[in-house]
Amino acid sequence: MARTLARTALPVALALALALLLPSGWAASVYKFQSLESCETAARTEAGWVCGALQHDSSGAPYASFRGVPYGRQPLGELRFQELRPVEPWTDALNATQEGPVCPQKDVFYHNIAQPRGVSEACIYANIHVPLAGLPRMSQKQHVAGLPILVFVHGGGFAFGSGDTDLHGPEYLVSKGVIVVTFNYRLNALGFLSLGTRRVPGNAGLRDIATLLRWVCANAAAFGGDSARVTLAGQSAGAIATHLLTLSPASDLFQRAILLSGNGMSEFISMSPAYTKFVTNMFLEKMGLNPQEDPEELHRQLVDAPLEKIMHANDIVLDILGLLTFTPVVENAFEGITPMLDDEPEALVDRGRGGSIPLLIGFTDSECETFRPRLTEMDIVARVEATPNLVVPARLIYQTTEQIIPLLIKLVHSRYFNSTVDMDNYIRLCTDEYFKYPTLKLFAKRAEAARPTHLYRFSYGGRRSALKLAWNLTYPGAGHVEDLTYIFRPNTVFAPDEQLPEEDREMVDQMTNLITNFVKHGHPVAPDSDEQWTRAWVQSPQYTSLASPYHIHASAPTAWETSTKDFFDRLYAVGTSSG
C-alpha cells in the first residue's frame, strides 16, 4: 500500500451528533471510517480517502464502486433550505461501500423497484462507479488519460427517487469505459420551496446538482476521470433539471447533456410566480402557518419545524396534485445570489442560452402507460370531469386568462375525447401533451437555430421488460422510464446473475453504445461506425427510431406526432393571444 493514514477515533461530539440526526443504524454505517489497508479499492478526494468495493459489470469485468460519498455538508438545522456548503474533511478512510439514505419523500411511482436503505434529511451523497482499468493506483501522482464522466440526475417529479443502484445500476455503462456518477439531491419542499426571499429563493435542489458538478470537477482525477469531458444526463424530472442547468451559470461545469423524456419546456409543470405562490400557500396552510406572515418569520418556523411535520404537509399536497409538489421556479434577483433560473426556459432557449451545448434527446412512444396505476389510484377521469381545466397544459394555464380557458378545454376535448373522458384517451393526451410535444418543440427550435442536437424515439417493448414485469403491466411499445432500463440495470427486478433474452441484450448494447458514444465523442455514433448506423442520425425533420435492436433507422415524425406539435402550437397561440 503506497500510503497509510494514521487511524484516529471518530470524534465523540461528531458521533453523538450523527446519532441524533440520522435514523437508527445510520450513524454507524454511513459515517464509518476504517484503516486504508483494509480497503478493496480506494481513491483520495479533496476531503480525504474513500474506501470502495469491487463489483462486476455486465461483461464480468471488475469495477470500483464508491457509494455514499458526501459531496456537500448535510443541510441540517440552520442549513435547511440553504445552498450546500463544502463537505468537511475527514482523517481516516471513509467507508464508501454502501449507499446513503435517500432524501425525504413519498414514493407514488417507483414502488417495488425502489428499495432504499433508509430515509434522512442528511441525504447528500454521491455514488461513483469507475472501470477498474481507469482508476489511478495510489502510487501514481498523475493520471494522464482521464476517462469521460457521465453524471446522471434521477427522475421522480422533484418529489421522489434517488441515485441508488436499485434502478440505476451502472453495470451496463461502466463496461463501455465511462465513469458513472449518480447522486441524491433535495426534493419536495426541502429542495424546491420558494418564499421569494433571499433566504429561500427556491431551486435548492438545482443548486445541489451544481454543487455535485463542482465536486465532480474537483475530484475527477482522483477517480481517473477527465473534468473536461463531463456529460450531464437526466430522465423525466432529472431531464428537466439537466436542461435547466444548460440554461444556467452552472453550464460551464459540463460539456454535453442528455435529456430523456423531459426538458425545461415540459408541460406538466409551471415555473410561473402564480403557480409557485399557489403551491407554497397550500403547503404553508397544511403546515398550520399563515402564508401572509412575514417571510423571515415563516423561514424561522420552517427551519425549526420537525421534518415529520414538513413531510406530512408535503404529502397532503402531493396527494392533492397527484405526481409532484414543488418544482423549479423563476427566481427573484437578490444581491449576492446567483439565480439558477432567471427567466422562463422557453424564453432563454429563444435567446440562444445553452445553444452551444450538444444535446441528445430521447422519448418513448407510450410514455404515460407507466403512470396508469397512479392515474387509476388518483381517479384521474373523475378529477378531469370535476375540474375540466386539468386537460390544459399547466404552463399555459398560467399564461392565459380565465375567459379563454373554456375554449382551450373544448379544443382539447375535440381532439382527444368523444362525449366523455376515458382513461385510454387520457393516457394518449398525457403522452402527447407532457412528453412528445415538449420534446418535438425543443428539437425543432434547436434544429432551426442549427444547434447540435440528436433525437431518438424509443418504442421497443422488450422481451422481459423490467417495468412491465415489476408492475404487472401490459401495453404495446415502451412507456416512461423503459428506455432507461436498457441504459441502467434495474437491479431490484433482475437477479444478479440473470441473463436477459438475446434481443434485450442487443438493445442494451445499442442503447449503451449511443449513450457512451455521445459521452465520448459528442455524437451518438462513434467515428468508426458503419455507414448504415451513421445514416440513422440525421437532422430535423427526422429522428432515429429505435423499434428493436435490429430495426434502427431514420424516420420522419409520424402523421400523429406532426399533428400533435401543430395542435399544441395552435393551442398556445389561442391561449396567449388574449392572455
**Per the structure block, which three cell numbers stand in for 358?**
450538444
Nearest-angstrom CA–CA distance, 145 and 139 = 16
3 state SS of 411: helix
The pairing of strands 543-548 and 551-555 is antiparallel
Catalytic residue among 236, 270, 465, 555: 236
Residue 135 zone, left/alpha/beta (φ > 0; ψ -120 to 50; rest): beta
Catalytic annotation, pick one of 99, 346, 367, 482:
367
Query: CB within 8 A of 374, min separation 6: which ones?
Result: 108, 109, 322, 323
User: Of 469, 440, 454, which is closest to residue 567 (Cα–Cα)?
Assistant: 440
Q: 332 vs 5, 161, 372, CA distance in Å?
A: 47, 28, 37
Q: How many helices (H) and strands (E) does the chain have?
A: 20, 14
Residue 480 known to be catalytic: yes
Of the candidates 143, 299, 480, 523, the residue annotated as catalytic is: 480
Residue 409: its H or E element: helix 405-416
Active-site residue 529, yes or no?
A: no
The helix or strand, by DSSP H or E, that contains position 179, with its residue range, turns out to be: strand 179-183
Distance (Å, whole) CA 310 – CA 197: 19
Letter for the amino acid at 79? L
10 Å Cβ neighbour count for 432? 23
3-state secondary structure 243-306: HHHHCCHHHHHCCEEEEECCCCCCCCCCCCHHHHHHHHHHHHHHCCCCCCCCHHHHHHHHHHCC
Alpha-carbon gap, residue 248 to 337, rounded angstroms:
13
How many CA atoms within 13 Å lie on the side-chain side of 147? 25
Residue 286: partners with Cβ closer than 8 Å, 6 or more residues away: 312, 313, 316, 317
Cβ atoms < 10 Å from Cβ of 197: 15
d(C-alpha 240, C-alpha 156), whole Å: 11
Listed in sequence order, the residues at least 6 apart from 268 whose beta carbon sits closer than 8 Å to its beta carbon are 323, 324, 393, 394, 433, 434
Per the annotation, the verdict on 540 as an active-site residue is: no
> Strand 256-260 relative to strand 33-34: parallel, antiparallel, unpaired?
unpaired
Q: For the chain, what is the radius of gyration of the CA atoms?
A: 23
User: Which residues carry out catalysis?
Assistant: 236, 367, 480
